[in-house]
Structure 1
Amino acid sequence: MSDLTGELIDNRYLLQRQIASGGMATIYAGLDTRLDRPVAVKIMHAHLANDEAFVSRFIKEAKATAALSHPNIVSIQDQGWNEGGPPAVFLVMELVEGSTLRDYLNENGSLTVEQTLQLITPVLSALSAAHRIGIIHRDIKPENILISKDGRIKVADFGLARNIAMGQTMTAESSVVLGSVSYLSPEQVQRGVADARSDIYAIGIVLFEMLTGDKPYSGETPIQIAYRHVNDRIPNIQTINSAIPASVAELVYEVTAPNPDQRPKDAEELLSKLKEIQAKIDPKRRQMSLELDLPPVVSKKSKRGKVSVTSAFGGIKEKTSQLISSKPININKPEDSIRTKKR
């Protein structure tokens, strides 16, 4: 897809610079010229924009996701078809400035149990809000968990354009899926279907990676990784790190069960289990909502010139009770949606 930097989309959104490009779309940092505010604009690739069924589903799910209003969800602000310029199906989203969980894992390898529980709580809060109204994410992974420079956790890409049959995905879109297949549930791989329990499985894989620093399975192709999700059992993480509390290890083992009936039914149930574990691990901890994420700290620059995600955890023990305001954000390293150039 040609670079559309400098184009005015829908006579309103000025595309200022390309943030990322994936197999389905290119993301631009832009300016809403009507309201004079920064936005992220997702432009679908032409081969998908010409698929009427895909576009219809994309618009339907964008409208459904726009109904979500939650401090830990990247908000959708507009969608449409560009007229009077380059043909483009577009989606306008909140622009989040900071980094991703993937960036943190790349820099640090793993998180402590305390950091893991602190970070995953707002993610589950966001998923709970979605599951309550029947919206499934379908693509939970570290690249879609954003950490703003003021500590806010945001989940991006709720259910948008993810209903691609696995057979098609493994061929024409294999480069897209390589980054996502590590988090796909067995039922998504085998039957191409997903419900709230599929999101729970993905959360389990993310927890596994956060606590160990590695994904449970690796492979050179998406097929190899998908095969293992279907045919192997993800190990109990205590066999990898015996210092992880048994209650945490057992929960991760439960949520990654191959049979969806053996997992928590939705994010609300998982969040309840997680809070029980937190209370047992630290009975004296202050009882408060953790949905407003990590404590705000002075931003540090990493060697790559980005906001260091490590700094977001700097005051976690002392300042977790502080409320954090949500500021516009500029994603530096996304995957297919508001992030990465390569899956």
Structure 2
Amino acid sequence: MHLVERETRSQGMAAEHPNVLGLVAHECVSTANADVVQARLLFPLCEGGTLADFLKAEGGIPTDEMLRIFSQLASAVAHCHAVGVIHRDIKLTNVYRDGEGRWLLADFGSALSSTATIELDTREALALARHEVETLTTPEYRSPEQVSLELRSKLTPAVDVWALGVALYQMTFNANPFATPLQTLSERTPHPNESSTPPRLISLIESLLNKDVPSRCTAAQAVQLVDSLQLGGNVRV
């Protein structure tokens, strides 16, 4: 019940944005097991499938179209952060295209209020954070501070920005930036087609995948950066 309440509350807070999938209705139904409650959530039909489906079908996305998609996604995430929601499970399979061609951020089942930012200053807090990272997030999208909680960094909205960077990297190179948690922690972001990738796009990816949390751009800055790219500008953080 707690997770359902958290999801519906977070989705409701974020749903006013045009690139966040709205929740039509929800209910909790008792089952034969008194300890188990079945949650039913109703969402609008998204006829275009997921962004992962789109990337797989196309085999690659032209830069201009990719930036348009990413702008919508970054705008949705910036809105979430502005209203106090950390999504925590941004990935291509959680982004859907509706019948009008808009891309919508969905699945707030892992979301957390930014006012409940997890401090990792005790053994108990560390254990809780580790459990939530392992059960509510997706491995290839985890930020360095989620991979190595022992660093004792706070878990903040910056984890969503890292996931945005992974998503943009996947759209750009049709691959994951890091194959293992150790690479996420220690290796420079690889660029397999660097010679044919616009330098300004690489700079944007680097801004999102900055391992140093205070130096990582915010979602709002990411919106400004991608809008600048669409207008032919340079990337500066």
TM-score, normalised on structure 2? 0.78
How far apart are the structure 1 equivalents of 2:142 and 2:154?
A: 10
In our comparison, the structure showing a higher alpha carbon Rg is: 1
How far apart are the structure 2 equivalents of 1:59 and 1:257?
A: 33
How far apart are the structure 2 equivalents of 1:66 and 1:140?
A: 17
Query: 1:36 matched to which residue of 2?
Result: none
Cα contact 1:185–1:202 (8 A) shared by 2: yes
Q: Which structure has the higher relative contact order (CA within 8 Å, separation 6+)?
A: 1
Query: 1:274 matched to which residue of 2?
Result: 226
How far apart are the structure 2 equivalents of 1:140 and 1:90?
A: 22
1:247 aligned to 2:187? no
1:63 aligned to 2:9? yes
Distance 1:279 1:227, change over 3 A: same
CA positional deviation for 1:200: 1.0
1:181-240 Cα offsets, whole Å, 9 max, x none, are: 11111112222964221111111111111111111123xxxxxx22321222212x3x52
Which amino acid letter does the alignment assign opposite residue 186 of structure 1? P
List runs of 5+ in structure 2 lacking aligned partners.
113-127
Identity %: 24
Which amino acid letter does the alignment assign opposite residue 141 of structure 2? Y
Query: 1:79 matched to which residue of 2?
Result: 26
How far apart are the structure 2 equivalents of 1:131 and 1:140?
A: 13
Query: 2:123 matched to which residue of 1?
Result: none
CA positional deviation for 1:74: 0.8
Match of 2:175 among 214, 225, 228: 214
How far apart are the structure 1 equivalents of 2:100 and 2:181?
A: 36
Query: 1:35 matched to which residue of 2?
Result: none
How far apart are the structure 1 equivalents of 2:31 and 2:173?
A: 51
1:243-279 Cα offsets, whole Å, 9 max, x none, are: 22111111111210111111113x2111011112222
SS at match of 2:41: strand
Match of 1:201 among 162, 166, 169: 162
Cα contact 2:31–2:38 (8 A) shared by 1: no
CA positional deviation for 1:156: 0.5
Query: 2:116 matched to which residue of 1?
Result: none
Which amino acid letter does the alignment assign opposite residue 127 of structure 1? V
Distance 1:85 1:71, change over 3 A: farther
Match of 1:161 among 96, 110, 117: 110
Which amino acid letter does the alignment assign opposite residue 216 of structure 1? P
What CA RMSD, in Å, does the superposition of the two structures yield over aligned residues?
2.6
Aligned residues: 212
Which amino acid letter does the alignment assign opposite residue 5 of structure 2? I
Cα contact 2:13–2:83 (8 A) shared by 1: no
Which amino acid letter does the alignment assign opposite residue 253 of structure 1? E
Which amino acid letter does the alignment assign opposite residue 70 of structure 1? H
1:264 aligned to 2:217? yes
CA positional deviation for 1:167: 5.0
Cα contact 1:147–1:154 (8 A) shared by 2: yes
CA positional deviation for 1:71: 1.6
How far apart are the structure 2 equivalents of 1:59 and 1:205?
A: 28
Which amino acid letter does the alignment assign opposite residue 231 of structure 1? S
SS at match of 1:88: strand
Which amino acid letter does the alignment assign opposite residue 167 of structure 2? V
SS at match of 1:82: strand
1:189 aligned to 2:147? yes
1:103 aligned to 2:56? no
List runs of 5+ in structure 1 lacking aligned partners.
1-54, 219-224, 283-343
More strand by proportion, 1 or 2?
1
Distance 1:248 1:114, change over 3 A: same
CA positional deviation for 1:168: 7.0
TM-score, normalised on structure 1? 0.56
More helix by proportion, 1 or 2?
2
Which amino acid letter does the alignment assign opposite residue 130 of structure 2? M
CA positional deviation for 1:162: 5.5
Cα contact 2:140–2:178 (8 A) shared by 1: yes
1:231 aligned to 2:186? yes
How far apart are the structure 2 equivalents of 1:84 and 1:142?
A: 33
How far apart are the structure 2 equivalents of 1:114 and 1:105?
A: 14
